[in-house]
Structure 1
Amino acid sequence: MSRAPMTRAGAERLRGELDRLKSVDRPKVIAAIAEARAHGDLKENAEYHAAREQQSFIEGRIAELEAALSTAEVIDITRLGAGNRVVFGATVDLEDEDSGEAVTYQIVGDLEADIKKRLIAVSSPIARALIGKSAGDSFEFTAPNGVKHYEIVDVRYE
């Protein structure tokens, strides 16, 4: 079985979510099911069916997180010593060569990726194009809306 790379911060976030699901959300939904069950006829009890659906979602997410964390290879990015080369865990400042727009991304494991937080999956097209490059390099990759051209302004490991 292959081990999926994950940053220490990402593993901590996922463990926090798992802990919340097990200690807060699961007991809440169990109580909601018990309360809805007390209302009688389960066939036409919308609260009961909604609570059961929520329970199913929570149990599925718990299983997904437990599996991901059990196969994760947590990498301490502060010890990589890659210098100004881009490898897993790098935080990269980029400049769009066409528009001049600056953007910063961190390359993380697939499960911890969140574009809203500027965390991009190591398997994404932009991350694959970045790996192995250094500060000052230019590169291009194919995005959903066409070919993009970027320059790597800075590479750091935080």
Structure 2
Amino acid sequence: MAMERVPMTTEGFRRLEEELHRLKSEERPRIIQAISEARAHGDLSENAEYHAAKEAQGLNEAKVAELEDKLSRADVIDVSTLSGDTVKFGATVKLVDEDTDEEVTYKIVGDLEANLRDGKISISSPIARALIGKSKGDSAEVTTPKGARSFEILNIDWK
């Protein structure tokens, strides 16, 4: 079975790499140190510090494995090389809500990078799915938890 590729921007890939490096070069040694200090306190069965450090080690190693997996499956897309008149992965899309006239700008990114506070929405989100393939001036109907909303695409950018 082929591994599913995970689309992500160059920036998102770099952020995951930095986090992986931190977990391996800072967290791992710190936890190993904590385990050996706790071990020095004697009886391991009663030793809360030892058990906490071992648990932290397990969690850290699980995070390392998860990040390595995501990075190995990353399909890195350099957004600066993209262009075009239709919405696709990596596009920054300026919209206006046709009911409220409220303007919003979203960048369409991979699932792992999505962060609504930064205006980054996942390629698999309902809004992104409604926008994909559309052009400037088109309307997109999106079903949200608050009901159907209609957006007009004001601009598509590749910065």
TM-score (structure 1 length as normaliser): 0.90
Q: In the alignment, which residue of structure 1 is the partner of 2:47?
A: 45
Structure 2: any 5+ residue segments left out of the alignment? Answer: none
Cα deviation per residue 1:63-108 (whole Å; 9 max; x = unaligned)? 11111111111111222222x3111001112222222222221111
Q: In the alignment, which residue of structure 2 is the partner of 1:139?
A: 140
Q: Which residue of 9, 32, 35 maps to 2:34?
A: 32
Cα shift at 1:144:
2.3
Q: In the alignment, which residue of structure 2 is the partner of 1:16?
A: 18
Matched, 1:157 2:158: yes
> Residues of 1 paired with 2:45 and 2:95: CA distance?
56
Residue 99 of structure 2: SS of its match in structure 1?
A: coil
Larger displacement relative to structure 2 (39-48 or 100-109):
39-48
Cα shift at 1:35:
1.6
Q: In the alignment, which residue of structure 2 is the partner of 1:61?
A: 63
Give the count of matched residue pairs: 157
Matched, 1:94 2:95: yes
Amino acid at match of 2:15: R
Residue 30 of structure 2: SS of its match in structure 1?
A: helix
Q: Which residue of 6, 9, 12 maps to 2:8?
A: 6
